[in-house]
Amino acid sequence: MNIYRDKINEIKGFLSDNTRDRFAVLGTSSGIDSSLVLALLSMSVNKDKIKAVFMPDKFTKEDDYNDIKLLSEFTGIKIETVNIENIFNSYKNTLKTGDVKIEGNIRSRIRANILYYYANKLNGLVIGTTNRTEYLLGYYTKYGDGACDIEPIENLYKTDVREISKELNLPESIINKKPSAGLWDNQYDEDEFKMTYNELDSILKDIFDKNIINNGYEKVIETYIKSMHKREMPKSLK
């Protein structure tokens, strides 16, 4: 059987088992990760129990708005739009912020607040969209896009996400989109890493799946160690 079909069925079962009759609340940016999760949700649970939210801001590109429409048509799920720019400006004006990366984290945490508002309102669960590559590198905002109740694709490397999206025939514009968290202008994942996802996944698979460490892996190992706090529970007195 196709290895990706096995993974698809495994994730569908996971989503079905862990949501039951509760609402599944999902933030979708029209990026490949959240688009895949929404597609898998639409195949796994009652569509009337899915609350999908698109939360654009001033950095959101016109292509993303177009892809949200395509994704809604593809999945049959209505996607609500909540623009966060006014909310962010309230933070900016109150805190007198100026650091673009700190502001990016604020934007991510605003989106998490909105998702948990809907989860509270609907007695639902927030569905995460972090893949294994992002998880191991800590490439997400603590209590931002890392805030969720269940993580259905945390066992999939970014390259797996791409292949499964092709298997499910997601819109090509979503599959081929240059990966970006969209937290500031012209921010792209691979530019920050200074590596492609193919290169990163090859290294991560060596380290974590095969126990192989070669010369040139130091930067990836350092990133993993520095982001360890994101993968641990808060420390406390026992």
Contacts of 88 (CB under 8 A, 6+ apart): 57, 103, 106, 107, 110
Average pLDDT for 29-52: 97
Selection from 146, 149, 168, 148 nearest residue 7 by Cα:
168
Average pLDDT for 22-51: 97
Rounded Cα–Cα distance for residues 98 and 178 (Å): 26
Task: Kindly report the length of the chain.
Answer: 238
Domain boundaries, the chain: 3-231
Q: Does domain 3-231 have CATH number 3.40.50.620?
A: yes
Rounded to two decimals, what is the model's pTM? 0.96
Phi, psi at residue 24, to the nearest 5°?
A: -100, 115
Angle at the Cα of 131 (from 127 to 132), degrees rounded to 5? Answer: 130
- pLDDT tens digit sequence for 80-125: 999 999 999 999 999 999 899 999 999 999 999 999 999 999 999 9
Does the pLDDT at position 1 exceed 50?
no
Structure tokens at 78: 């209505």
Angle at the Cα of 80 (from 58 to 30), degrees rounded to 5? Answer: 60
- pLDDT, residue 3, reads 84
- pLDDT tens digit sequence for 187-217: 899 999 999 999 999 999 999 999 999 999 9
| Rg (alpha carbons) of the chain, rounded to whole number | 18
Order of strands across the sheet with 50-54?
Answer: 79-81, 50-54, 24-27, 125-126
Selection from 76, 84, 9, 6 nearest residue 39 by Cα:
76
Contact 70, 45 (CB under 8 A): no
